[in-house]
Chains A and B, each alone.
Chain A
Amino acid sequence: AQSVTQLGSHVSVSEGALVLLRCNYSSSVPPYLFWYVQYPNQGLQLLLKYTTGATLVKGINGFEAEFKKSETSFHLTKPSAHMSDAAEYFCAVRGQGAQKLVFGQGTRLTINP
């Protein structure tokens, strides 16, 4: 079985500051890991994913995440926040051979001018 915990339901940063959204997962099989973003009244858009290979993955809009097996983490970062980054962010896990994505509870990112 898989599960995801996102630490912090709401994160607020200043424009230009580092963004760090935390995600820890639990999986009994090697995981595939994903970050999705949801803008208001929109569907979910894939930011980045880890399947195999390089543990540091780069995504769209300047985001990246690092898979750390020893820490069972997949934290999302962006060096410099932009006002347009304000949205809800979801971490998700899918075990290899599993049939569904399991989502964390989401983190609302607010950017202060």
Chain B
Amino acid sequence: DTAVSQTPKYLVTQMGNDKSIKCEQNLGHDTMYWYKQDSKKFLKIMFSYNNKELIINETVPNRFSPKSPDKAHLNLHINSLELGDSAVYFCASSRLRGGDTEAFFGQGTRLTVV
């Protein structure tokens, strides 16, 4: 009964390819996120969706395109992959408002671009 699950866990691909990472949550949360963790472990938000609507879009290259088909899913598509895209990508979910405000994270997808 994984709360936030993302696939794949590992992704190795060549420069220039297009790839997708999928994320699903079964917590009934209304908000989902994508975070990027770089090689120094720094976590930075990329996108956030609330009820399928984009509410946060940080300074991210437009090669990255999130898609939320419903409240329980948030996928990340990356076009024309570059070496610098290598990182661990985390999906997370939370309630946007209310006392139950912590984010629950998936296990991460380690993307390696060669």
CB contacts (< 8 Å) of A28 on chain B: these are none
In the assembled complex, the CB of B42 is this many whole angstroms from the nearest CB of chain A, namely 6
Contact with B along A33-51 (1 / 0, CB 8 A): 0101010011111100101
Number of A-B contacts (CB under 8 A): 55
B side interface size, CB within 8 A: 27
Cross-chain contact A49 with B33 (CB below 8 angstroms): no
CB contacts (< 8 Å) of A38 on chain B: these are 41
CB contacts (< 8 Å) of A100 on chain B: these are 33, 45, 48, 56
Known contacts: A51-B101, A103-B43, A106-B41. The answer to whether A43 contacts B108 by CB under 8 A is: yes
Add 16 more A-B contacts to A51-B101, A99-B56, A100-B48 (CB < 8 A). Answer: A32-B101, A34-B102, A41-B108, A41-B110, A42-B107, A43-B105, A43-B106, A43-B108, A45-B105, A94-B101, A97-B97, A99-B31, A100-B45, A100-B56, A101-B33, A102-B45
Which residues of B come within 8 Å of A, CB atoms? 4, 31, 33, 40-45, 48, 50, 55-56, 90, 92, 96-97, 99, 101-108, 110
